[in-house]
Chain A
Amino acid sequence: MIMAAFSITSLCILLIMGIVMYLRFSASARQEMIAGTQKLMEQAGENLEDYLISMRRVSDSIYYNVIKENDLSSQDQDIQRGMNLLYEANRDNLRSIAVYNDYGSLLAAEPVAWQKEDPDITQQGWYERAMGERENMHFSVPHIQNLFDDASFRYYWVISLSRVVELTDKGTSRPGVLLVDMDYSSIARMMRQINASGSGQYFYLCDSNGRIIYHTRQMQIRGGIAAENSRQAAAYKDGVYDEVFNGERRKVVVNTISYTGWKLVGVIPYPAFTSGMFNIRYFIMIFMLLIAMMLVFINRVVAVRISSPILKLDASILEYEAGEKPEIYIGGSQEIRHLGISVQNSYEQIDQLMKEIVREQNERRKSELDALQSQINPHFLYNALDSITWMVEGERNDDAVFMISELARFFRISLSKGRTVISIKDELQHAKSYMNIQKVRHKETFSMVFDVDPSVVSCCTVKLILQPILENAINYGVAGMDDCGEIRIVGRQRDGRILLSVIDNGMGMPEEEARSLLTDNDRVHKHGSGVGLINVNKRIQVLFGKEYGLTVKSEPDEGTEVIICIPAVPYTEESRKILEKGYLFSKEELDTEGAQGMEEIK
């Protein structure tokens, strides 16, 4: 996500930058192209003007230095010589020089050539214009010179510069026309030079009426294959114009040539602006793509550097939450490291708090257990001491000694160095001591039988669980019977459980009453309070779990059986400590422990 966000953002910025750059670049290139075209046209215009000025100077020189200075009738040789000199000096640019009188008759010409038969000079456009506007010089549009006979069968294209001159013939002034035919190829060469760029733009020359003087596609235009907007261009003043011609948008740059009114026109079709930029466009795109590749790569590296520690931290937290206890990942940037350390500290504190809570709970359980155990001690001690007192008073010293020694054993096991868990062997011993004390107290009116499997005695139990049951069996079972009362203590191991049964053959009780013995703590029972049984049941369940405890079976006049069910945990110091800490063994552990215990017993 980080990479995608970085990449999309940077690519968008890159794209916008690319487009802006391209637009800026293309606008700048367009401006540069137009400026370049204007500059080129200014240069070309100056060259053309220089050329035309030189032709005007030739015309002026012939007129003022040759024609005006000489009389046609007497100095025709001087005129011819003067014209020859000027022609020879400018022959690269000139095709011919000729002087005609006001009837159109040829008076002199250079180079000397035969005039064509009846060229009808007065009908020629250049002659008409010169005679029409006598004060001006006139430049014609390009045309074939058809005045002189060229035996080489060639026809030359010329631009005619014509003017009216004042001829002196036998001392008399009369008008005439001086014709300077400029070689069209000189102008064509200049125009070809500026058209040589080949970048899509082109330049043409037209007169003030839009008639084309030079165009790269001159013949195509005249043949109708192509077209040019020269009439419109001729109407433009100098400057840059936007126009649409034949459906094509283009920039038109117009520059007027002095003296002639000709227009030098530069045409830049819009595709020409972009033709040179075709590759630049692709290069910019390639550049942008490469930058994009680099950005994506950098974004990836940055995103991985940022996200990798976070993901690792997340993974370790998930593992922690799943119950495993891995080390919380601490790495990456300063902030992530700080976060990892904080999480780890939090978890450590939680662990500490959990342990604290468990310890407190165990302590609470233990104190609860201790409180329950302490409920029985004062009651029993009072009765035992009462019996001993009674024996001493009856001078039954041996019995008193026996009672005291049993009581001592009884209390030794009761105390058990403060332990809660003892072996069943000790518990049975405790039960025996208790029963011996009680038998003395009840004048041997009942008997007791211990029927305990040897495998049972080496297992763990909560201490003082038999005594309250035996107490009930005596008080509410066999106490009223005449020497036929019997209390049997049976110990068996089944399915990983220890079953210790206290069976009396007393008066018994109804089934409903037997069931309510362990459930209703506040009820006043017919056969005793039941506090002792509830106490025992709670203690067993506190220590071993809810699935263990007491079961009471009874039938009226048949007797009562109280079955203690506890797990078969072999009694060792270690298992004792574990149980006392409040740890509840699972069934599998008990099976294993039981098996080991059995092995030890065997």
Chain B
Amino acid sequence: MKDNKKIFILTEAVLAILVLFLVSIILWEKIGDDCIRVSVVVQDPDDGQWSAFKYGLKMAAEDLGIDLSIVSTGGVLTARELEEIILYETDNGADGIIVQPVPESDLERLSEKIKKKIPVLLVGTQASRTFPTVGPNDRQMGTALAEELLRDQVGNMDGKVLGILAEYTDPKGASDREQGFLDGIKEAGAQIRWSVSSRDLDAREESLGSLPEVDLVVALDDISLRMAGEHAAAKDLHGALLYGIGHSTQAVYYLDTDIVQCLIVPDGFDVGYQGLTEIAQSMGHPFYKMKDQTVSHTVLRRDILFTEENQEIIFTMSQ
């Protein structure tokens, strides 16, 4: 009789434990249903240069079930403002941050402040010792641009004078692109007459048209290319041929309208997609160490601008 009672109590206890176990699983699933939130902090996110990047982020977020939050910065940020935004996002439940650092950013101090609580991935910058990065290979893009330019010049640039336009929001990236470009043309006999940034011009209260006349203008980033394109459209480049690296529809338009001779387009979609995928992987696996991600680039020419493959690139920029 006593044994029966023991078996009865034991059976009821086991069943009750199973019920509690299943209830806890359901509760755990409900807690787990809360989406992972990733914040994206880039300079002026509404600018057309980020369209493909944002589209890539959006697609990855849909694939991975991530709640994406693109922080509206309203323009160019200072290092302090950027740091404040990142800390604010960290404190307000962001599980990961993708950030475009400003040139003055003290990443090591930022790393200490975040204390590795959440994964951080950098975009629009080249290799950082503090955080992993995602972006194109700047040196290769510079070299690719040089190759296209040389192809147009049939490999001979003797007597040709070049002006280089580069924005230094990412000093290391800009330097790599320039170095890659210079390496590509160093034996072609071209002469570099000037190498400036829009900031330099603003500081000197000069315009691009006021710079010494050159045969070829090379814009190494989207901002520079758009600025140069505007001047070229306004016939303010003294007939110089324009080559550049860019990833906005404006840059494509200049290529389409024959203002730009050749356009190197980094794959902004992949930057966003791979970046978010990488950060999601690190959140799903506590011991996963994020790695630098390199995306490809595409050489666009006017005659092949509307091929099926290239239309897709433009499609991502148009989103």
Q: Is the CB of A297 within 8 A of B1?
A: no
Q: Is the CB of A156 within 8 A of B318?
A: yes
CB proximity of B230 to chain A, nearest CB, Å: 11
CB proximity of A332 to chain B, nearest CB, Å: 15
Q: Is the CB of B269 within 8 A of A146?
A: no
**Chain A, 142-176, contact with B by CB distance < 8 Å: what is the 0/1 string?**
01101001100111110000000000000000000
Q: Is the CB of B59 within 8 A of A155?
A: no
Q: Is the CB of A296 within 8 A of B22?
A: no
Closest 6 CB pairs of A and B: A153-B250, A153-B253, A293-B15, A289-B19, A144-B311, A300-B8
Residues of B contacting A547 in the complex (Cβ-Cβ under 8 angstroms): none
Asked if A311 is at the interface (CB within 8 A of a chain B CB), the reply is yes
Q: Is the CB of B11 within 8 A of A144?
A: no
CB proximity of B244 to chain A, nearest CB, Å: 15
Binds A, one of B23-31, B39-47, B76-84, B145-153: B23-31
Asked if A279 is at the interface (CB within 8 A of a chain B CB), the reply is yes
Asked if A43 is at the interface (CB within 8 A of a chain B CB), the reply is no
Contact pick for B269, options A144, A223, A279, CB 8 Å: A223
Q: Is the CB of A279 within 8 A of B29?
A: yes
A144 touching B314 in the complex, CB below 8 Å, given contacts A7-B11, A285-B22, A300-B8: yes
A293 touching B12 in the complex, CB below 8 Å, given contacts A144-B311, A157-B315: yes
Known A-B contacts: A155-B314, A303-B4. Give 13 more (CB < 8 A). Answer: A3-B8, A144-B315, A146-B305, A153-B48, A219-B55, A220-B63, A222-B312, A226-B63, A286-B22, A289-B19, A293-B15, A296-B11, A300-B8
CB proximity of A166 to chain B, nearest CB, Å: 30
Query: Interface size class for chain B?
Result: 35 or more
**Chain A, 11-39, contact with B by CB distance < 8 Å: what is the 0/1 string?**
00000000000000000000000000000
Query: Interface size class for chain A?
Result: 35 or more
Q: Is the CB of A282 within 8 A of B15?
A: no
CA distance A156 to B253 in the complex (A): 12
Residues of A contacting B252 in the complex (Cβ-Cβ under 8 angstroms): 153, 155
Q: Is the CB of B316 within 8 A of A149?
A: no
Asked if B270 is at the interface (CB within 8 A of a chain A CB), the reply is yes
CA distance A150 to B62 in the complex (A): 32
Q: Which of B263-319 contact A (CB under 8 A)?
A: 269-270, 273, 305-306, 309, 311-312, 314-318
A282 touching B269 in the complex, CB below 8 Å, given contacts A144-B311, A153-B48, A155-B252: no
Q: Is the CB of A154 within 8 A of B29?
A: no
CB proximity of A145 to chain B, nearest CB, Å: 10
Asked if A216 is at the interface (CB within 8 A of a chain B CB), the reply is yes
CA distance A116 to B7 in the complex (A): 88
Q: Is the CB of B316 within 8 A of A143?
A: no
Asked if A240 is at the interface (CB within 8 A of a chain B CB), the reply is no
Q: Is the CB of A220 within 8 A of B273?
A: yes
Asked if B18 is at the interface (CB within 8 A of a chain A CB), the reply is yes
CB proximity of B9 to chain A, nearest CB, Å: 10
Asked if A290 is at the interface (CB within 8 A of a chain B CB), the reply is yes
Q: Can you list 20 A-B pairs, Cβ within 8 angstroms, ordered by A?
A: A4-B7, A116-B257, A144-B314, A149-B257, A153-B252, A155-B252, A155-B253, A155-B317, A219-B59, A219-B316, A278-B29, A283-B26, A286-B22, A286-B26, A289-B18, A292-B15, A293-B16, A293-B19, A296-B8, A297-B12
Asked if A335 is at the interface (CB within 8 A of a chain B CB), the reply is no
Closest residue of A by beta carbon distance from B254:
A153
Asked if A515 is at the interface (CB within 8 A of a chain B CB), the reply is no
Asked if A217 is at the interface (CB within 8 A of a chain B CB), the reply is yes
Contact pick for B62, options A216, A300, A311, CB 8 Å: A216
